[in-house]
Amino acid sequence: MGGAPAAAQPQLPDGAGKAIVQQACLGCHDPVRIINAGYNRQDWQTVIHMMLNVGASVPSDQLGTLTEYLVKNFPQKPKPAPSLIGGSTHIDIKEWVVPTPGARPHDPLAYPDGSIWYTGHMGNLLGRLDPRSGQIIEYHLDTPSSGPHGLVADKDGNIWFTGNFAGYIGKLDPTSGKWTEYPLPDPSARDPHTPIFDRRGILWFTVQGANMIGRLDPKSGEIRLVTSPTPRSNPYGMVISSNDTPWFCEFGFN
| CATH code of the region 105-250 | 2.130.10.10
Q: What is the pLDDT of residue 58?
A: 92
User: Are the CB atoms for 32 and 84 separated by under 8 Å?
Assistant: no
Are 125 and 148 contacting, i.e. CB atoms less than 8 angstroms apart?
A: yes
C-alpha atoms less than 13 angstroms from C-alpha of 104 in its C-beta half-sphere: 16
Per-residue confidence band for 6, with pLDDT thresholds at 50, 70 and 90: low
Q: Is 193 a catalytic residue?
A: yes
Report percent pLDDT > 90 for the chain: 77
- The burial class, CB within 10 Å (0-12 / 13-18 / 19+), for 3 is exposed
Q: CA 99 from chain center: how many Å?
A: 17
Nearest to 127 by CA among 209, 75, 118, 51: 118
- Element (DSSP H or E) covering residue 28: none
Q: What mean pLDDT value characterizes the chain?
A: 92
What are the start-end ranges of the H helices in 36-147?
41-53, 63-73
Q: Over 60: is that where the pLDDT of 1 sits?
A: no
The closest alpha carbon to 162, from 99, 232, 236, 233, belongs to: 236
Q: How many CB atoms lie within 10 A of CB 194?
A: 22
Mapped onto helix, strand or coil, the DSSP state of residue 138 is strand
3 state DSSP class of 105: strand
**b/e for 156-190, b at 16 or more Cβ within 10 A?**
eebbbbbbbbbbbbbbbebeeeebeebebeeeebb
Give the model's confidence band at 27: pLDDT under 50 very low, under 70 low, under 90 confident, else very high: confident
Distance (Å, whole) CA 101 – CA 80: 27
pLDDT at 176: 94
Q: What per-residue confidence (pLDDT) applies to 8?
A: 64
pLDDT over 90 at 52, yes or no:
no
Per-domain boundaries in the chain: 18-73, 105-250
The alpha-helical segments, DSSP class H, found in the chain are 18-24, 31-35, 41-53, 63-73
Residue of 106, 121, 149, 193 with catalytic role? 193
Side chain identity, residue 59: P
The predicted pLDDT at position 215 comes to 98
pLDDT single digits (tens) 164-203: 999 999 999 999 999 999 999 999 998 999 999 999 999 9
Quick one: pLDDT at residue 4? 52
Residue 10: the pLDDT is: 79
Query: pLDDT, tens digit, for every residue of 84-143?
Result: 888 888 889 999 999 999 999 999 999 999 999 999 999 999 999 999 999 999 999 999
